[in-house]
A and B are shown apart, each in its own frame.
Chain A
Amino acid sequence: DTEVTQTPKHLVMGMTNKKSLKCEQHMGHRAMYWYKQKAKKPPELMFVYSYEKLSINESVPSRFSPECPNSSLLNLHLHALQPEDSALYLCASSHHGWGGGVLEQGRSNTEAFFGQGTRLTVV
């Protein structure tokens, strides 16, 4: 099973709404990611969780709030978004992450697997 499941597939929200994007994987991966992709641009990293702890925040505005309730789930809470935040939001997971300061040994299977994305439109 190499599946990362994202819900919803499409979301339209107003600028005053609060909504959440959800991501789930059951591959035992301990690193999970949120990427944002605008049309004709590459995916841009937003957040990385490693062992359920936020390890990278790429200077993302606070109107985006990530949450990792457990090793299989990753949420992205949205509040007071702007129309320019409309994009495809991609979740990914991979085997490796940071565990208490110990660098994991071995680099096989370090590819990230992506979900199908949530197409977000802010009106």
Chain B
Amino acid sequence: DQQVKQNSPSLSVQEGRISILNCDYTNSMFDYFLWYKKYPAEGPTFLISISSIKDKNEDGRFTVFLNKSAKHLSLHIVPSQPGDSAVYFCAASATPPGTYKYIFGTGTRLKVLA
């Protein structure tokens, strides 16, 4: 049962335009969301996160939007650059009285065309 889903396995965007990557989740207990960028045979690199008490978080070219009622989040990259080409994973965690664990989505391969 995939609790975190990224329905677009791939996305191509022209350099300078906006990239929008989407993520849906099913577990209403998730209250913290993260986006990671990953190159082949390397570990994921943290990009940006958002807590469920917010609906938007910005860091430079990256903005994450959270719609709790729709259980949906998105990552906007603007302007997109060729170096942004990678696989992007969203991840979610919950806060039971205990340890956090991070559940990853299925990933979206972004290709930014020069």
Q: Give residues in A with beta carbon < 8 Å to B.
A: 4, 6, 31, 33, 40-45, 48, 50, 55-56, 88, 90, 92, 94, 96-98, 101, 103, 107, 110-117, 119
Contacts and interface: CB of A to CB of B under 8 A. Distances in A.
Contacts of A4: 43
Contact of B34 (A31, A48, A111): A111
B35 to A, nearest CB: 10
A117 B43 contact: yes
B89 interface: yes
Closest 8 interchain pairs by CB?
Answer: A114-B43, A42-B104, A55-B99, A50-B99, A111-B46, A98-B99, A98-B98, A114-B44
A90 B38 CA distance: 12
B89 A43 contact: yes
Contact of B43 (A45, A97, A115): A115
Contact of B51 (A103, A107, A116): A107
Nearest to B34: A111
Interface of B: 4, 32, 34, 36, 41-46, 49, 51, 89, 91, 93, 95, 97-107
Contacts of A115: 43
B58 to A, nearest CB: 16
B101 A33 contact: yes
Contact of B32 (A6, A33, A90, A107): A107
B43 A116 contact: yes
A33 B101 CA distance: 8
29 contacts: A33-B102, A40-B107, A42-B4, A42-B89, A42-B106, A43-B44, A43-B89, A43-B104, A44-B104, A45-B102, A45-B103, A50-B99, A55-B99, A96-B99, A96-B100, A98-B99, A103-B95, A103-B97, A103-B98, A107-B32, A110-B32, A112-B34, A112-B46, A112-B102, A114-B43, A114-B45, A114-B46, A116-B43, A117-B42
